[in-house]
Amino acid sequence: MKTLIKDGMIVTSEHEFKGDILIEGTKIEAIGRDLRVEADEVINAEGMYILPGGVDQHAHFSFEFMGERTKGFETTNSAIIGGTTTVIEFVNQEQGKGLVETVEDYNKEWVEGISMVDYSFHPVITNPTEETFKDIKNLPEAGYPSVKLFMAYKGQFFHSDDEAVTNALLEAKDAGVTVMVHAENADLIELMQKKAIAEGNTNPYYHALTRPPIVETEATERAINLARFAEAPIYIVHVTTKGAVDAIKKAKEEGLPVFGETCTQYLLLDKEYLAKDNFEGANFVCSPALRDKDDQEYLWKSLKDGWLNAVSSDHCSFTTEQKKMGLDDFRKIPNGSPGLENRLPMLWTYGVETGKITRPELVEYYAASPARNNGIDHKKGYLAPGYDADIVIYNPHVKKKVKLEDSLNGVDFTIYEGFDQVGECDAVFLRGTQVVKDAKYIGEQGQGHFVKGKPFGTAFR
């Protein structure tokens, strides 16, 4: 089957030009002006932008918080409708199992045959034993060339101390495995949380007040120092605040291999959303907490200046019912908010349309760079012959508002409700198969494939 997409504005991470793309089977066969080829189907993309399918390197379809679990891969059509064709999922190590074993079992039970998006995995260390650290060197062969540790969340089974982070860094560096950390100071958070609760401050707003920017800045600086000690690269996930960006910037200026991403919600939302009435603020409880408008501006600038190298979603779908677990105590509100489907349209609307980033920069942060970071850039994140035909045809003429009724996130709210949206994914192709048509999802459950990542991603290059 050959499909020819004609006369669209093709956007790569370097430039944009008017042209055609020929898909043959699952791959991009050719790109150019006025391709003179026979095709089974010809799509006129005049007036549209053609982007590579997005790669979201930070998703939680299986996050567990105090026994509550997020919606799973049966809701990954929400990724596709938002132009993301590959997600990389964090999988918490199960007690009594190794990292590779955990991911393989998780894939079989929860992902394979269910996912609508192509996928890969980041194992998360929860059992910091010598055996676990030794297992890190087996990750590249299995195709998961990264490992994550949570410096936050004291008392939870997935919390890691500095010793664990350092051991992971020491073990990962020769194997080309990228160590990712969620950097927040767990002790400081606990101290502030206890004080807030003792003073009777139980509502969601205190989630933000007890995780101020300093807890992230301090842990980011510490993580960088642990990497400096281990002489290993490090990747800081969901950077939200000026102090943390500055720590990364300073390390880069010293020549250290330190990298970081931010997420859509930290670019668009601020902590006042947690003050919404009727416990609605709980929907905006994620960690790190939402910050202030100044931080948002600094994050946009940091993308522009190259201090941060990706924008992820940190997609994490808990329902309002699940959030109610923390009705009387904000510490029990499951952390996380959905947002995969909004990542591209919000970056377009609030980044490209406002001139904060260019279209090629958008492609870099939402597709190409996350593909390189995770060693899948031989197949994903680019529009070029030989690559998987993961393609978005973006219609920039649509103007609408984000509404729950249009959402596929599987829960009963969206954190971008009422936000203006410029443009939408008119068509999406996943390995050559059309899975969005006329802005509607038309794919099938189980169409997603595992993507094997290669070691020595960006952090090592």
Q: Which two tokens stand for residue 453?
A: 């990542």
CB neighbours of 292 closer than 8 A, spacing ≥ 6?
270, 271
Residue 71 contact, options ligand DUC, Zn ion, none, Cβ 5-8 Å cut-off depending on partner type: none
Q: 3-state secondary structure string, 30-66? A: EEECCCCCCCCEEEECCCCEEEECEEEEEEECCCEEC
Contact 433, 85 (CB under 8 A): no
Our finding on whether 89 is near Zn ion (CB under 5 A) is no
Binding-site member from 181, 286, 371, 451 for ligand DUC (CB under 6 A):
286
Our finding on whether 249 is near ligand DUC (CB under 6 A) is no
Binding-site member from 12, 287, 296, 373 for ligand DUC (CB under 6 A):
287
CB of 174 to Zn ion, least distance (A): 26
Dihedral angle at the C-alpha atoms of 375, 377, 379, 382, nearest 10 degrees? 160
**Please, what is the angle between helix 242-253 and helix 293-305, to 10°?**
20
Q: Facing residues of 263 across strands?
A: 312
Residue 171 contact, options ligand DUC, Zn ion, none, Cβ 5-8 Å cut-off depending on partner type: none
**How many binding residues for ligand DUC (CB under 6 A)?**
9
CB of 336 to ligand DUC, least distance (A): 3
Binding-site member from 20, 21, 49, 63 for ligand DUC (CB under 6 A):
63
Residue 148 contact, options Zn ion, ligand DUC, none, Cβ 5-8 Å cut-off depending on partner type: none
Residue 291 contact, options ligand DUC, Zn ion, none, Cβ 5-8 Å cut-off depending on partner type: none
Binding-site member from 20, 261, 270, 314 for Zn ion (CB under 5 A):
314
The CA distance from 13 to 35, in Å, is 22
CB of 334 to ligand DUC, least distance (A): 8
Residues within window 336-395 making contact with ligand DUC, judged by CB under 6 A: 336
| Contact map string, positions 166 to 195, toward Zn ion, x by CB under 5 A | ----------------x-------------
Start-to-end CA distance of the chain, whole Å, equals 37
CB of 274 to ligand DUC, least distance (A): 12
| Contact map string, positions 41 to 60, toward ligand DUC, x by CB under 6 A | -------------------x
The CA distance from 317 to 300, in Å, is 25
DSSP secondary structure of 268-308: H-BGGGGG-TTTGGGGG--SSPPB-HHHHHHHHHHHHHTSS
**Of the listed pieces 227-235, 277-285, 314-322, 418-426, which binds Zn ion according to CB under 5 A?**
314-322
CB of 365 to ligand DUC, least distance (A): 20
Q: 182 or 372: whose CB is closer to ligand DUC?
A: 182
Q: Which two tokens stand for residue 90?
A: 């964090």
Look up residue 356 and give its DSSP letter.
Answer: S
The CA distance from 54 to 344, in Å, is 8
Q: 240 or 447: whose CB is closer to ligand DUC?
A: 240
Q: Which two tokens stand for residue 420?
A: 């203006």
Looking only at the bridges linking them, the beta strands covering 391-401 and 49-52 are: antiparallel
CB of 87 to Zn ion, least distance (A): 12
**Of the listed pieces 7-15, 39-47, 199-207, 308-316, which binds Zn ion according to CB under 5 A?**
308-316
Residues within window 158-197 making contact with ligand DUC, judged by CB under 6 A: 182
CB of 316 to ligand DUC, least distance (A): 4
CB of 238 to Zn ion, least distance (A): 5
Residue among 378, 289, 285, 380 at smallest CA distance from 338: 285
Q: 215 or 286: whose CB is closer to ligand DUC?
A: 286
Per DSSP, the three-state class of 178 is strand
Q: Count CB-CB contacts under 10 A for residue 307.
A: 22
Contact 440, 425 (CB under 8 A): no
Residue 258 contact, options Zn ion, ligand DUC, none, Cβ 5-8 Å cut-off depending on partner type: none
Residue 312 contact, options ligand DUC, Zn ion, none, Cβ 5-8 Å cut-off depending on partner type: none
CB neighbours of 228 closer than 8 A, spacing ≥ 6?
251, 256
Residue 335 contact, options ligand DUC, Zn ion, none, Cβ 5-8 Å cut-off depending on partner type: ligand DUC
On the 0-12 / 13-18 / 19+ scale of CB atoms within 10 A, 15 is exposed
CB of 45 to ligand DUC, least distance (A): 36
In 123-240, alpha helices (H) = 130-135, 139-142, 162-175, 186-198, 205-209, 213-230
| Contact map string, positions 304 to 343, toward ligand DUC, x by CB under 6 A | ----------x-x------------------xx-------
Binding site for Zn ion (CB under 5 A): 182, 314
Binding site for ligand DUC (CB under 6 A): 60, 63, 182, 286-287, 314, 316, 335-336
